[in-house]
Structure 1
């Protein structure tokens, strides 16, 4: 598995999941038009497709994706919502992504 390709897929999947979820959030919580919710649902479905581009099995991909999602969600909250992560947010995200990398990238015996 090409590590850079895999990380790029995790990032793209994260953008689709967070972006789609954000559109649905805006529709339901911020009284945006229905088309926000529809667009969000479509983007969330695309997230499911993008995740299949990983070469590892479903369970391992989704377990590892969680670590990448945590970092991306904090970055999204910081850049889009004005939330400022504190040192514990950063430490927790770093621990999560290290765990994700162990799950997805460590060689395994056959």
Structure 2
């Protein structure tokens, strides 16, 4: 149950951070307006709180592992939201990152 909770928190964190960054991008770079930027900033702030609910007490471990989730999640966001088509190297890199997440977060420790 702890691993499932942790995975769900990583997904929520990815949605908040990637979605927040995307909203800021849309608001500023695509000139959709400051309301988009403000919504993005709120989502980015929410990301910071979501990470604190991870069961592991080590900030560095959580953030390091989340980096891998962010890589894979960003590519997935691009596919689902922006029509991005990753190549085999994008996918290979994302898989490597997710394996790193599994090692960092869920390897047995003595």
TM-score range, shorter chain: over 0.9
1:18-97 matches, within 5 Å, as 18-56=18-56, 57-97=58-98
TM-score, reference length from structure 2 = 0.95
Q: Which runs of 5+ in 2 are unaligned?
A: none
Distance 1:19 1:70 in 2: 13
Misfit runs of 4+, over 2 Å: none
Distance 2:92 2:66 in 1: 17
Considering only aligned residues, what root-mean-square deviation do their CA atoms show, in Å? Answer: 1.0
Q: Note the C-alpha offset of 1:12.
A: 0.4
Distance 1:36 1:70 in 2: 23
Q: Note the C-alpha offset of 1:84.
A: 0.4
Question: Deviation digits for residues 56-81 of structure 1, max 9, x if unmatched?
Answer: 11000000011111111001001111
**The residue matched to 1:43 in structure 2 has which SS?**
helix
Across the two proteins, how many residue pairs are aligned to each other? 109
Q: Which runs of 5+ in 1 are unaligned?
A: none
